[in-house]
Amino acid sequence: MEAMVFLNVDVGLEDKVMEEVTAIPEVRAAYFTYGPYDIAVRVEVPSLEALKNVVSGRIRRIKGVRSTVTMIVIRSYRRQ
C-alpha cells in the first residue's frame, strides 16, 4: 500500500523535519514543496494499521510537524 503524506512544518525546522522523516524506513521519498504544504512524503506500508503507525506514531510526533494530510494511493503509474 502506498500513500502520500503532506506536512505543514514550523518555520525554520524544515531541514530538521526532513532529516527525521527520511530516517523512517517506510518513507520511500520526500520532497520540499511550495504551496499549501511544506513537505510531501511517499510512504509504502503493508496495511492500513502500518500506515496509521507511521503517520500517527512516527511522522506526527516529529518536533516541528504542525499538521499532516494523508492520501492513500489507489493506483500508480511509473515510467521505466
What average pLDDT score do residues 41-64 get?
98
- pLDDT tens-digit map of 6-46: 999 999 999 999 999 999 999 999 999 999 999 999 999 99
Residue 78: pLDDT band by 50, 70, 90 thresholds?
confident
Identify the domain containing residue 45 by its residue range.
2-73
The answer to whether the pTM exceeds 0.85 is yes
Residue 69's CATH number: 3.30.70.920
Residue 16 burial (10 A CB sphere; 0-12, 13-18, 19+): middle
Residue 80 lies inside a defined structural domain of this protein: no
Contact 31, 17 (CB under 8 A): no
| Dihedral sign for Cα atoms in the order 66, 51, 5, 69 | negative
The pLDDT value given to residue 71: 98
CA 46, CA 75: separation in Å to the nearest integer?
A: 15
Q: Which three cell numbers stand for residue 39?
A: 513537505
The whole-number pLDDT of residue 79 equals 87
**54 within some domain:** yes
